[in-house]
Amino acid sequence: MMGGLCIMVKDKMCIGVMADELMARIDPEFYDAALKKKGCHQMDFTGRPLKGFVLVKPNGIDMDKDLEYWIDLCLAFNPKAKSSKKK
């Protein structure tokens, strides 16, 4: 997973760690609101942000309630997320 650690839930990317940041796969409906949270920014590798994926800097998950917020957001979206095609 893009050089990091990824936690899969029901064969779908859910949440992970890249370098020192949390990678969160969230409902695109909540994407703009999530970007306003402390430490959150777009996940952008190619010059285009990946809609539905955000990165959160350590200062955005320094409290248990902050980390819990992101985990809950990822788990809530997981049933709606599409799986990658099997090779």
Residue-level pLDDT at 7: 93
Residue 57 in contact with residue 39, Cβ under 8 Å?
A: yes
Residue-level pLDDT at 47: 85
Q: In what order do the strands lie in the sheet with 5-9?
A: 5-9, 12-18, 21-25, 49-56, 40-44
**Gap between the Cα atoms of 87 and 80, Å rounded:** 21
Mean pLDDT of 31-51: 92
Average pLDDT, the chain: 91
Residue 43 in contact with residue 49, Cβ under 8 Å?
A: yes
Domain ranges of the chain: 5-80
Question: What is the CB neighbour count within 10 angstroms for residue 59?
Answer: 10
Compare 51 and 23 and report the one with higher pLDDT.
23
Q: What is the CATH number of domain 5-80?
A: 3.90.1150.30
**Gap between the Cα atoms of 6 and 81, Å rounded:** 15
